Amino acid sequence: MEKNFFVKSHGLGNDYIVFDSEKIDFEISENFIKKICDVHYGVGSDGVLVKYPSDIADFKLRIFNPDGSEAEKSGNGLRIFCKFLYDYGYTDKREFTIETKGGVVKAKIEEINTFGKAKVITVDMGKAVFEAEKIPVKTDKKEFIGEKLKVADKEFEVNCVSVGNPHCVILRENLDEDEIKKYGPLIENHPIFPNRINVQFVKPISENEAQILIWERGAGFTYASGSSSCAVASVLVKKGLAKGDITIKMIGGELKISVDQDWNIKMTGEVQEICSGVLSKEFLESLK
């Protein structure tokens, strides 16, 4: 593997660039993240994943949003990272653990494609946490489920949960891209959420299916999100609108989410490599 080698892959249209921290000779800075995620000046991506050594798991992952901020957890990012580890020989095991800022997760390669590469991956996403102070939400309420939130000229009924990162789930009878693009950034940055928050508009279809639109913290309107799917599934189960096994339908595709009686969450979905390459000396020089 050459120095400054990268892989770009997507999970349901949510794409990430992956690096190994021990095989690069540049700093993972805010400037670098912003530039490489830019489709005109960089490779173009919804985020960056970086592999590090771990003392508490088989591998460590740091996840960066296009605005340079660091995320605690990403479902699509984790599956892409698992594929990178398996495809590029970091492990020949089908099951392993990954340290994230949002906790240690277990992963399993479920299916291999015709090229011998990882195709379908299940990630144990940890527990859904509804305690408001742990999400966090600035409130004196123990949980923030079914609460009213005034945003500009509209009032929403919101349901907040953490799945290693914070989420605000809003039930809608109809989904409107213009609506989430208008109110998503306002909800994300609402003062009641001290660490900002991911936003999902949700249309329940049945007790085993739901359709969602996503505004991702630090990334904006997104075709798919694993952690968002986990958050939505947890809230639907919490409100008695869904059973434990739920298919979440997004613009980019579908994820299978399982929520057990103790709020443990598993997520299963496909990943696909787009390309691989080496950053040029010219690009790296432009960062200085």
The candidate with the shortest Cα–Cα distance to 62, out of 49, 78, 74, 53, is: 49
Quote the distance between the C-alpha of residue 177 and its chain's center. Answer: 19
CATH topology for 5-124+271-286? Diaminopimelate Epimerase; Chain A, domain 1 (3.10.310)
CA distance 180 to 170: 10
Residue 169: the pLDDT is 98
pLDDT digits (tens, 9 = 90+) for 224-243: 999 999 999 999 999 999 98
* H/E run at residue 178: helix 177-188
CATH number of 132-262: 3.10.310.10
What are the backbone angles phi and psi of residue 164, rounded to the nearest 5°? Answer: 100, -20
Q: What is the mean pLDDT of the chain?
A: 96
DSSP 70-95: EES--HHHHHHHHHHHHHTTS---SE
Confidence of residue 92 (pLDDT cuts 50, 70, 90): very high
- pLDDT reading at 55 higher than 90: yes
- pLDDT reading at 288 higher than 90: no
On whether the CB atoms of residues 77 and 46 are closer than 8 A, the answer is no
On whether the CB atoms of residues 262 and 127 are closer than 8 A, the answer is yes
For residue 176 the two structure tokens come to 């409107």
Instruction: Note if the pTM is more than 0.75.
Output: yes
Residue 1: the pLDDT is 81
- pLDDT reading at 127 higher than 90: yes
**Quick one: average pLDDT of 183-205?**
97
- pLDDT reading at 205 higher than 90: yes
Compute how many other C-beta atoms are within 10 angstroms of the C-beta atom of residue 191: 6
Domain ranges of the chain: 5-124+271-286, 132-262
Domains 5-124+271-286 and 132-262 share a fold: yes
**Quick one: average pLDDT of 280-284?**
95
